């Protein structure tokens, strides 16, 4: 049995997001981190590894520096890393991205006992589409928004969160699960783990490696294979500064504010 | 399944996936039907709802009251509960057969599970979590003039896009606008070569039409053909559990009083003060992610990028610093009032009215002042 976890390196959007004068995102000003939901997916895989001794493979699509993130995940306990990287893959939307990742995952091979895991969504794109689209391309059943995962034999029982509660879903392996932060608290890297990480196998799948897969067609990958195009991107206008109330004391401020609200018929 | 780009002119009508849970329509359905009505009028086509479930035909007419011309009802015992496989199979068969031009889903946990699966099977484009949709170019340009910092001449000249090295006329494309990076950047996405153009739409953003009984009565109900067997469904729903507590209706509220990390020195007291102010205003209490992560409030109170997007008449932010993830969920509120100890807190950048002070002292005074102002009217 093995678990393949699809992960993404993303800019850290928790601090100030910087925007270039031309309206594009200033990625250089932000630190690259492992997408938070993906860390929960890796942790879920490592927990199943602790219980069953299964193998955990982490796969990512991105530029060569993303290999550093794979080493970091191997230092936490993943057994192997696969970097999917080629110029031909650039400019992909979620559809094209999932085609490429599905091809990479099927090259690794999804057997009867295996599980594929993803994070619910990446904090840069916020689409939550790649997981389900990989599942569709690999013809696997999917359960998204997993907050609890239990494995009994070939059956996985998942607590799947809804806005107004949850569903309990049973699914047989192989399957694809997308994970949310409620699932677990990701472990840290260990010093021993960091040492070991550098002796673990890390492969790169480029265009040559994957080009014979039926999913890798120039018309379905990269910019050309993306069904969606960006018409324009722009920054919204900054709202003008509002009125700071400084009448002297809190009571006067509150009375002034309530007076304005009443005058404007807001209250 | 074939690519849906061989004859895109054959695709017609705007469709809305109408989500039901346990035989009840979701509030988002009415928002999406209302928005879909606008798009169908801009395209000059019909607006159709797509409703799946078991014994759900009785729900269909109500959707007509918000603007649907027609509801396609897929009624089947295997569609009783939502399953990705069952719903995807039925929807994709009906779409292949009837060829809608535009397909909208609510960006609920279910819509965000279903939309990408359908888009991948149909080989078409899907734009996630849209907050604004247009077809008509003059209307779209008016929106850009209002909502962007783009130069006027750039907006005026925006009639085509380069698609695979060729100039593509975008006048009939659905222009799907969505925030990225917590609303610091907006992008308008098109799906020029494939149909249907699909979008998931953020709940709480689109305005609901007024219900019209005559339109509801005139709404046509059609049962499209599809086949579904037990073998198509590989996931088994064991149980569905509703949250025990009554859900906080943040999206429907006119007044929201939200608390942030600033209540940490007396959490219970802080929440109580917010509740009192909310009660006086006739609204509800919300919270920043910090308050949810600390377990002070339940997750259904969360406002922000990973919580709910709200646009109430008045949003009161008590002790919320105003991180972009929070602002993303509330910056379109009609009036924002911020109370914070720190006069450089980013929340003041978007607040209409700010009070620099201790929320534990200010909030009761504000509640009292609002009460007095209302009584004086």
Q: Which pTM does this prediction carry?
A: 0.85
As given in the structure block, the two tokens for residue B14 are 């705007």
Min distance A1 CA to chain B CA atoms (Å): 20
From the list B189, B314, B324, the residue facing A17 with the nearest CB is B324
Kindly indicate the confidence band of residue B347, based on its pLDDT and cuts at 50, 70 and 90.
Answer: very high
Q: Where are the beta strands (DSSP E) in B26-151?
A: 47-53, 70-75, 102-106, 126-130, 132-134
- Cross-chain residue pair B113–A132, CB shorter than 8 Å: yes
Measured between beta carbons, the chain B residues lying within 8 angstroms of A255 are 369, 372-373
Q: A16 vs B185: CB contact, 8 Å cut-off?
A: no
Distance from CA of B147 to the nearest CA of A (A): 6
Q: Return the bridge partners of B168, or none.
A: B161
A chain contacts of residue B160, beta-carbon cutoff 8 Å:
none
Residues of chain B with C-beta less than 8 angstroms from the C-beta of A239: 331, 349-350
Phi/psi-derived region of residue B184, left when phi > 0, alpha when psi is between -120 and 50, beta in every other case: alpha
CA distance A72 to A69: 5
Contact B113 A145 (CB under 8 A): yes
A135 vs B: CB within 8 A: yes
How many C-alpha atoms does B103 have within 13 Å on its Cβ side?
28
Residue with tokens 């925006």: B158
d(CA A184, CA A162): 18
- Cβ-based contacts of A12 with chain B (< 8 Å): none
ipTM above 0.95, yes or no: no
Q: What is the pLDDT of residue A78?
A: 98
* Contact call for A262 and B181, based on CB within 8 A: no
Residue B1's pLDDT is: 45
A240 pLDDT tier (thresholds 50, 70, 90): low
Comparing C-alpha atoms, which of B201, B217, B220 is closest to residue B46?
B220
Contact B175, B133 (CB under 8 A): yes
Q: Give me the residues paired with residue A202 across strands.
A: A81
Tens digits of per-residue pLDDT, B93-143? 999 999 999 999 999 999 999 999 999 999 999 999 999 999 999 999 999
Contacts of A100 in chain B (CB under 8 A): none
Q: Over the stretch B175-220, which tens digit does the pLDDT of each residue have? A: 999 987 766 788 999 999 999 999 999 988 898 999 999 999 999 9
Among B residues 348-367, those touching chain A with beta carbons less than 8 Å apart: 348-358, 361-362, 365-366
What is the structure's pLDDT at A11? 87
DSSP string of B171-239, one letter each residue: TTS-EEEEEEGGGTEEEEEE--SSSSEEEEE-TTTSPPPPP-HHHHHH-EEE-------GGG--EEEEE
Flag if A257 and B361 touch (Cβ within 8 Å): no
Which residues are CB-neighbours of B97 under 8 A, at least 6 positions away?
A: B224, B225
Half-sphere exposure of residue B319: CA atoms within 13 angstroms, side-chain side: 24
> Which of A13, A130, A231 has the CB atom closest to B181's CB atom?
A13
Local structure of B341: helix, strand or coil: coil
User: What distance in Å separates residue B217's CA from the closest CA in chain A?
Assistant: 31
**Given CB atoms, is A214 within the 8 Å cutoff of chain B?**
no
pLDDT at res. B3: 67
CB-closest option in A24, A226, A234 to B149: A234
How far is the C-alpha of B368 from the C-alpha of B352, rounded, in Å?
20
Average pLDDT of chain A, as a whole number:
92
A17–B373 CB contact, under 8 Å:
no
Per DSSP, chain B holds a count of helices (H) and strands (E) of 12, 20
Question: Which positions 205-224 of B are in contact with A (Cβ < 8 Å)?
Answer: none
| Distance (Å, whole) CA A86 – CA A208 | 9
What does the pLDDT look like over A155-208, one tens digit per residue?
999 999 998 889 999 999 999 999 998 899 999 999 999 999 999 999 999 999
Question: Using a CB-CB distance cutoff of 8 angstroms, which residues of chain B are in contact with residue A168?
Answer: 237-241
Among residues A40, A25, A26, the alpha carbon closest in space to that of A181 is found at A40
Sign of CA dihedral B86, B87, B93, B96: negative
């Amino acid at each position: 049995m093995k678990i393949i976890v699809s992960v993404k390196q993303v800019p850290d959007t928790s601090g100030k997001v910087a925007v270039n004068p031309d309206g594009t995102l200033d990625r250089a000003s932000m630190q690259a981190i492992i997408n938070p939901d993906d860390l929960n997916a890796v942790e879920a895989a490592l927990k199943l590894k602790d219980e069953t001794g299964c193998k955990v493979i982490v796969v990512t699509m991105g530029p060569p520096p993303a290999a550093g993130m794979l080493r970091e995940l191997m230092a936490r306990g993943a057994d192997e890393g696969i970097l999917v990287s080629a110029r031909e893959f650039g400019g992909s939307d979620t559809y094209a991205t999932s085609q490429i990742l599905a091809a990479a995952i099927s090259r690794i091979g999804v057997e009867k006992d295996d599980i594929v895991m993803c994070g619910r969504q990446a904090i840069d794109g916020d689409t939550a589409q790649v997981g389900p689209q990989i599942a569709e391309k690999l013809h696997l059943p999917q359960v998204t928004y997993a907050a609890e995962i239990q494995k009994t034999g070939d059956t996985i029982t998942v607590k799947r969160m809804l806005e107004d509660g949850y569903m309990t879903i049973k699914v047989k392996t192989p399957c694809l699960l997308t994970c949310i932060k409620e699932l677990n608290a990701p472990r840290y890297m260990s010093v021993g783990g960091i040492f070991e990480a550098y002796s673990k196998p890390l492969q790169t799948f480029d265009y040559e490696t994957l080009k014979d897969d039926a999913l890798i067609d120039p018309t379905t990958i990269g910019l050309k294979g993306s069904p969606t195009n960006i018409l324009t991107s722009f920054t919204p206008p900054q709202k003008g500064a509002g009125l700071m109330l400084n009448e002297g004391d809190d009571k006067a401020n509150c009375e002034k504010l309530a007076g304005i609200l009443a005058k404007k018929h807001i209250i | 399944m074939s690519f849906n780009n061989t004859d895109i002119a054959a695709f017609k009508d705007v469709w809305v996936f109408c989500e039901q849970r346990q035989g009840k329509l979701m509030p988002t359905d009415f928002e999406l039907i209302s928005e879909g009505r606008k798009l169908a009028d801009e395209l000059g086509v019909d607006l159709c709802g797509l409703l799946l479930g078991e014994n759900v035909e009785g729900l269909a007419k109500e959707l007509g009251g918000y603007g649907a011309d027609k509801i396609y009802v897929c009624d089947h015992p295997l569609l009783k509960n939502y399953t990705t496989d069952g719903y995807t199979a039925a929807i994709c068969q009906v779409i292949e057969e009837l060829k809608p031009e535009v397909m909208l889903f609510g960006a609920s946990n279910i819509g965000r599970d279903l939309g990408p699966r359908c888009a991948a099977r149909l080989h078409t484009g899907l734009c996630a979590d849209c907050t604004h949709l247009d077809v008509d170019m003059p209307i779209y340009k008016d929106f850009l003039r209002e909502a962007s910092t783009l130069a006027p001449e750039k907006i005026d000249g925006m009639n085509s896009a380069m698609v695979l090295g060729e100039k593509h006329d975008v006048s009939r494309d659905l222009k799907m606008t969505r925030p990225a990076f917590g609303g610091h950047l907006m992008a308008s996405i098109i799906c020029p070569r494939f149909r249907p153009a699909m979008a998931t739409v953020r709940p709480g953003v689109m305005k609901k039409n007024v219900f019209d009984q005559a339109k509801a009565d005139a709404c046509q109900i059609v049962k499209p053909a599809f086949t579904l067997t037990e073998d198509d469904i590989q996931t088994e729903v064991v149980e569905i559990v509703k949250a025990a507590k009554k859900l906080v209706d943040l999206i429907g509220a006119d007044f929201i009083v939200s608390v942030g990390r600033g209540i940490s020195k007396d959490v219970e007291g802080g929440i109580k003060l917010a509740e009192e102010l909310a009660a006086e205003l006739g609204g509800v209490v919300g919270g920043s992610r910090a308050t949810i992560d600390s377990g002070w409030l339940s997750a259904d109170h969360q406002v922000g990028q990973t919580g709910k997007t709200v646009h109430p008449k008045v949003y009161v932010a008590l002790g919320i610093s105003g991180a972009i993830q929070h602002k993303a969920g509330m910056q379109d509120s009609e009036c924002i009032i911020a109370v914070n100890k720190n006069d450089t807190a980013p929340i003041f950048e978007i607040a209409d009215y700010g009070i620099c002070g201790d929320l534990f002292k200010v909030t009761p005074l504000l509640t009292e002042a609002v009460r007095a102002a209302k009584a004086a009217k």
